[in-house]
Structure 1
């Protein structure tokens, strides 16, 4: 009886996993299928998942600057996302460490204030951020988006890194300080190497937020030379060059950096770094 129940539970689990995988992957298969179909086949009343006459023409059109300045938008998005994620990790590491390890007046109030800010929806911050950006003379610049994304993501960065830092044994840091290391050296020689999984998670999170944002980019950026990929895709939708195949091809190409970045840092998500450091 126990064996039968275990078998039923395993079958249910596998079915749920399969359903999750299909639900997640199927939209991407449809996008790839549409990107590889000619226009007439993509608009058939009865569509086929597998293209009957596959073509790479839509990808060539998207990469053609006369049709769609993909590389301009791609470069802008990558620069903004990478710089934002890098600053968020560096500043977040210092701030989170102060929350986790240092004792100073008002620390609790600052922590609660950071979490309180995160409770507000991003759309509520559009007007005050717009006024701040215009007053600072940053309107229609990449810096306006970098500052905005830092404001939006810093609370989560501080929260995630702070919680991870608290799991690192203080004995490691105390021993390093006794050996003559300064507090800054402790952070970058002890804490940071042991916190690579959390730092990588924060970097990916901030990068994805900045890469996929449409709302703030549409408010703060108006010139084509500074537009990001989400805004560029929206403009492609309203031009004479718009066809479903090109839209799907551009969408697939815009997802590549996030996939590549996750593949690169995936190895850092393995656990056991803290335990290994404690034994040493």
Structure 2
């Protein structure tokens, strides 16, 4: 499908959404961790643009999962528009409904739009930020195309401020100017195993790099609770119960005589062992 056809279909779907649904109330999106939400003065601003960055391609899936989790918390029961540049499918994998469901996210709630270039990502995301009945917009341009300038990001920020639709831009880390309210660096962490060695909760390192309200840089290690659809602090390693890999063996009730590791056992070693007991 061409870019113009994809945008035309997107406009049609957004127009259908706009008829029955009122705009979402502005405010903050709580992430579910009291200390984190308090530090952010209530959570992430809903009517704002936020950047979720990865250090490179390796951590891009983790940054994407983190952004989608935030989007689902923000959207509540509303649809989420997810705009991706198609070249990302070959670099970090194609969106998979079963994978979204494993994260506790409903694939039916996502409007996925795939476009060939970063400029089209910007145009499609702009359409979404002006649609107040949407719950959130997630946009993913490719790192190699830097069309999202300060001016372009300012237009996005103004549009989301007017509609109240939180917009999350997922990209590799950069140092250029941006009108985003916050900029985060996100990477994946090893999950801690659950009972029975069941797969653990998705774990992230989330570092606040920039906040337009003047908050300083700070880092959190968090887990995503699939059932509650909420973040929670990741326990310190010393507080994580050790998984048993071998059965406990009770200690001997009496000393045991040492026996040679090689060579034949002396004839009187049995008696020596009995005497030692």
TM-score by length of 2: 0.24
Of structures 1 and 2, the larger Rg is shown by 2
Structure with the greater relative contact order (CA < 8 A, sep ≥ 6): 1 or 2?
1
Per residue, is there more helix in 1 or in 2?
1
